[in-house]
Structure 1
Amino acid sequence: MEKGWIKIQTYTDIIRGEIDKQMLEENGIPAVLLNKQDSSFMFGKIDLFVNEKDFGQAQRLIQENEPEENEN
Structure 2
Amino acid sequence: MENDWKKIKTYTNAIQAEIVKQMLEENGIPAVALNKQDSSYLFGKIELYVSENSVETAERLIEEAEGAN
Q: TM-score, normalised by structure 1?
A: 0.90
- Give the aligned partner of residue 51 of structure 1: 51
RMSD: 1.0
How much has 1:2 moved relative to structure 2?
2.0
Higher helix share: 2
State the aligned residue count. 68
In structure 2, what is the Cα distance between the partners aligned to 1:38 and 1:64?
30
Q: TM-score, normalised by structure 2?
A: 0.94
Gapped regions of structure 1 (runs ≥ 5): none
Alignment of 1:1-72 (within 5 A): 1-66=1-66, 68=69
1:3-23 CA-to-partner distances (Å, cap 9, x unmatched) read: 100000000000000000000
* Structure of larger gyration radius: 1
Gapped regions of structure 2 (runs ≥ 5): none
Kindly report structure 1 stretches of 4+ aligned residues shifted beyond 3 Å.
none
Structure 1 SS opposite 2:7:
strand
| Identical pairs, percent | 63
